[in-house]
Amino acid sequence: MDLRVNIGGLTLANPVGVASGTFGYGDEYAGLFDIDRLGALYTKAVTPEARAGNRTPRLADTPAGMLNSIGLANPGLDSFITDKLPALRQRRCAVIVNVAGTCPEEYQAVVERLETVEGLAGYEINISCPNVKAGGLALGTDLKLVESLTRRLRDCRQRPERPLIVKLSPNVTDIAEIARAAEAGGADAVSCINTLVGMVIDVQKQRPVLAMGTGGLSGPAIRPVGVACVYKVSRAVGIPIIGLGGIGCLDDALQYFLAGASAIQIGTALFRRPECALEILDGLAPWLEANHLSSVTEIKRLLKV
């Protein structure tokens, strides 16, 4: 069975990827399953300068999910290129860099520089991180900014074979509008969803569990939100959609494909069961065969609404 999918000119060996921020730079999970079988690996966000991240605690457990307020902790662009990229390049799966910054110029600085190095398959533009004060979510909720940022990055890109994937936030009134703005700015694809803003309060201590107060909610709890977002966005844009949010098993992934996704990412579920990504991958071909389909992109046609 041919599981290949096309994301804005980039062919992925299969539609199963691992989500930014949950998989580090790949080698952390190397002993636990065969990473090379994945279709794509989305790195932790890369910003121009190193970021230490937020104060602790950064994590809280929630019903069927979790909150995080990592704060885009990453070693910065230089260190990413010298320390992380050499090992990532050895991977057989497509390596897509999650790009973040506090202003459009910072996003541009990251993409411009990465255009000069080999071994990357594309960019996922994180305009939707709820855990940083500047940039992040603020960028991702403004239609004009989304369009102009996307156009700016598209214009500085030297390698059109590396798709520009804009990662959308569910923390907006109408995610479809934002997707349209990204498409108008020249995005090759969108991924949705990033985390939802959430808060857990420790009743005994009468204060939020997270040092930053709020964080991003992820895991099975947000899956219905993610599926609805993909469904809405698929009716609004013509570019491919990468679906994520709470995927942990084949049925979860199929919901996203039915809603209109061409590929998926697995995040929080890896924490509980790292190899679930490969279990989903292994379940896809038999499911397609049983349903007389020849590719994953045909799945969406089965949805009856």
Partner 1 sequence: MKRFDSTVTELQPVASDYFRITFQWPVTLPLPQPGCFLTVSAGSGFDPALRRPFAFSDVDPARGTAAFIFQRRGRGTAWLAERRPGDSLDVLGPLGAGFRAPPSGARPVLVAGGIGLGPMLFLARQLHQTAAAGRNEVPILVLGYRSASQAPSVDLPPGSVICTDDGMRGFHGSAVAYLDQLADALPPYYYACGPVAMMAAIDRLAAARAGQADWQAATEQWMACGVGACQGCVIPFKDGGFKRCCADGPVFNGRMVDWVGLQE
Binding residues for ligand FMN, per CB under 6 A?
19-22, 44-45, 68, 70, 72, 98, 126, 129, 167, 194-195, 218-219, 222, 244-247, 266-269
How many residues bind partner 1 (CB under 8 A)? The answer is: 39
CA separation for the pair 181, 150 (Å, rounded): 9
Least distance (Å) from ligand FMN to the CB of residue 168?
10
Residue number with CB closer to ligand FMN (66 or 239): 66
- What would the two tokens of residue 14 be? 């299969």
Angle among Cα 103, 105, 110 to the nearest 5 degrees reads 105
- The three-class DSSP label of residue 67 is strand
Token pair for residue 65? 């999910």
CA atoms within 13 A on the CB side of 47: 23
Query: For tokens 């069927």, what's the residue?
Result: 64
CA distance 161 to 68: 33
In the residue annotation, 156 being an active-site residue is answered as: no
Bond before 193 cis per omega within 30 degrees: yes
Neighbours of 238 (CB within 10 A): 6
Judged by beta carbon distances under 5 to 8 A according to partner kind, the member of partner 1, ligand FMN, none in contact with residue 35 is: none
The entry of partner 1, ligand FMN, none near residue 14 (CB within 5 to 8 angstroms by kind) is: none
Q: Which does 126 bind (CB under 5 to 8 A by kind): partner 1, ligand FMN, none?
A: ligand FMN
Q: How far is the CB of 95 from partner 1 (least distance, A)?
A: 15
Q: Which of residues 51-90 bind partner 1 (CB under 8 A)?
A: 52-53, 55-66, 68, 70, 73
**Alpha carbon distance 143, 180 (integer Å):** 9
Instruction: Name the binder of 53 from ligand FMN, partner 1, none, CB < 5-8 A by kind.
Output: partner 1
Least distance to partner 1, CB of residue 47, Å: 13
Q: Measured from the CB atom, is 39 or 245 closer to ligand FMN?
A: 245
Could you give the angle at the alpha carbon of 17 between the alpha carbons of 12 and 20, nearest 5°? Answer: 125
User: Which residue of the set 93, 103, 129, 156 is catalytic?
Assistant: 129
* DSSP symbols for 65-129: EEEE-----B--HHHIIIIIHHHHHT-SSEEEEEE--SSHHHHHHHHHHHTTSSS--EEEEE---
Of 53 and 104, CB closest to partner 1:
53
CA atoms within 13 A on the CB side of 201: 3
Task: Return the one option of ligand FMN, partner 1, none that residue 274 interacts with (CB less than 5 to 8 A, by type).
Answer: partner 1
| Residue 32 touches partner 1, criterion: CB under 8 A | yes
Q: Output the smallest distance, CB 175 to partner 1, in A.
A: 24
Where in the sequence numbering do the catalytic residues fall?
129
Under the rule (CB under 8 A), what is the footprint of partner 1? 21-24, 28-29, 31-32, 44, 52-53, 55-66, 68, 70, 73, 211, 219-221, 248, 268-275
